[in-house]
Amino acid sequence: MPQDALPQEAPAGREQRGDYTGAVYGSLLAASVVVGAGTLGPYPRVQLVVLLLSTGVVFWAAHVFSRLFGARIVNRLTWPVIRSEARQERPIIEAAVPPAVAAAISPWFGLGPQGVVWLALLVALIGQVGWATLAASRAGASRRLMLLAGAINLFLGLLIVLLKVALQH
């Protein structure tokens, strides 16, 4: 892959192009983590929050590593390039925050452990569909394509919900 294939650090004062791939992926990852968490131990809210955030950080680091070394293994790595890649993949972590916050504030709604899991899952899926639709919109897609992007991500989210229901029985 050519050295300029990965985005370089944006010049000061100029925003980088919005890429929502990480946010869509991170939301899907967060939903999967919630489903995979199943029954948690004695502190389910805290454990779910820690699990969501730590999984987001680990996957973010894995993506940064794979982008840097997958494309730049033969080229020299510099701190600006590393920072740029880390910043570009940051939405993977950010997508884990809303479901983690939902789990953390679930006592305000009087939810038990299963309610916490369902609330976090719902928030993750809303994020996934929302980010996909926003990405399509920002890319200049037609309304039909925006709806298709949202529908496909809703379908993927519903598959995760079906997996959760299947794992509970």
For the chain, the farthest-separated pair of C-alpha atoms sits apart, in whole angstroms, at 55
**What confidence score (pLDDT) does residue 35 get?**
79
**What confidence score (pLDDT) does residue 69 get?**
81
Which residue type occupies 159? L
Mean per-residue pLDDT of the chain: 82
- For residue 2, is pLDDT > 50? no
- For residue 119, is pLDDT > 60? yes
- For residue 124, is pLDDT > 90? yes
Which residue type occupies 10? A
3 or 167: which carries more pLDDT confidence? 167
**Structure-token pair, residue 136:** 């399509």
Asked if residues 90 and 115 have their Cβ atoms less than 8 Å apart, the reply is no
Instruction: Please name the residues in contact with 135: beta carbons below 8 A apart, sequence gap of 6 or more.
Output: 18, 19, 20, 21, 23, 24, 149
**Structure-token pair, residue 64:** 């940064």
**What confidence score (pLDDT) does residue 75 get?**
67
Alpha carbon distance 37, 48 (integer Å) = 7
Which residue type occupies 26? G
How confident is the model over 4-26, as pLDDT tens digits? 444 444 333 334 445 677 888 88
How confident is the model over 61-105, as pLDDT tens digits? 988 988 888 766 656 778 888 898 899 999 999 999 999 999 999
- Percentage of residues in the chain with pLDDT exceeding 70? 82
**What confidence score (pLDDT) does residue 166 get?**
82
- For residue 3, is pLDDT > 60? no
| pTM strictly above 0.95 | no
Alpha carbon distance 65, 84 (integer Å) = 12
